[in-house]
Amino acid sequence: MAVTSAFSKFWAQLSYGFLTKLTLTVEVAKKNAFNLAAGRVFIGFLKNVFPINVLQAVKSVPEVVRIFCATANPAKVIIAETEQRRGVLGVIDGQSTFGIEAEKDIEDRKALLRKFEYQL
């Protein structure tokens, strides 16, 4: 599998600052892309980083049209198939809801986002 120009640009953008310690697990991404067998799909698996910290870098790559999922949770990909090809319809991410957030839950979530240096 050849490395595309979009991937090269993406990796170059991630190579600065705190992201230099990031580990891209290429073999896992290759295996999952092969199993999906859908065209025009970029899959990246990252270790030692929270998805929220790299999302803007991914969005800034001109070839990226849509991001279906950026998560540390297990995810399932929904595929549509015709006689000629396959395509990604969407991604199911995470778990069912446990309930409605209380004020304490909201404060905890915001504190976690601030820890990731996410702008609220």
Q: Over 60: is that where the pLDDT of 36 sits?
A: yes
Domains of the chain plus CATH, in order, are 5-115 (3.40.1520.10)
Structure confidence by residue, pLDDT tens digits, 56-111: 888 888 888 889 988 888 889 999 999 999 999 999 988 888 889 999 999 998 99
Element spanning 28, H or E: helix 26-36
Do the bridges between strand 86-93 and strand 75-81 make them parallel or antiparallel, or are there none, so unpaired? antiparallel
Share of the chain residues as helix, strand and coil, in percent rounded to the nearest 5 = 40, 15, 45
pTM above 0.75, yes or no: no
**Residue entry with tokens 């230099």:** 20
Mean pLDDT over each residue of the chain, to the nearest integer: 79
Q: Over 90: is that where the pLDDT of 10 sits?
A: no
Weakest-pLDDT range from 20-34, 37-51, 74-88, 103-117: 20-34
Which pLDDT does position 86 carry in this prediction? Answer: 93
Do the bridges between strand 23-24 and strand 46-47 make them parallel or antiparallel, or are there none, so unpaired? antiparallel
> pLDDT-based confidence at 41, cuts 50/70/90?
confident
